[in-house]
Amino acid sequence: MIHQEEAITYLEKMQQGVTKGEWIIWGIHFEEEGFVGSICLWNLSEEKSTADIGYELLPAFQGRGIMSEAIPLVIQYGFQEMNLSRIDAEVHPQNIPSISLLDKYGFAVSEERPHSLENPMPIYTLSR
């Protein structure tokens, strides 16, 4: 369970990033449950016209198709509204549900970023 102090700290950090133009974040909220997660475009690069997509849901809401609805909307926003040429996603190789979700929307492994010497992280890319 998220404590109020943790939620406030998280929201303040997110607001600072939005203000600085470092990312765009959307909260996912349901009337009865309240805040259940977020999805964002971050690591924005106007020079390269790229961004990374990131998303997270509270564990009780995972596996319900919520991100299957959110991801295409964020991809559309990135390509159409922001005129991005590429969206990347860094995913832990054992996060099979997230990898399957990215595969569903056309992302494919393009490179690996060193997360640690023993554990590079694959980068999934979707190009316009």
Q: What is the pLDDT along the chain (128 residues), one digit of tens a residue?
A: 556 787 778 778 777 777 777 789 898 988 888 888 999 999 888 888 999 999 999 889 999 999 999 999 999 999 999 999 999 999 888 899 999 999 999 999 987 665 555 667 889 999 98
Instruction: Select from 60, 71, 72, 51 the least CA-distant residue to 30.
Output: 60
Residue with tokens 């009337």: 31
Point out which residues pair with 35 in neighbouring strands: 29
CB burial of residue 39 (10 Å; 0-12, 13-18, 19+): buried
Domain boundaries, the chain: 24-127
> Could you tell me which CATH number the domain at 24-127 has?
3.40.630.30
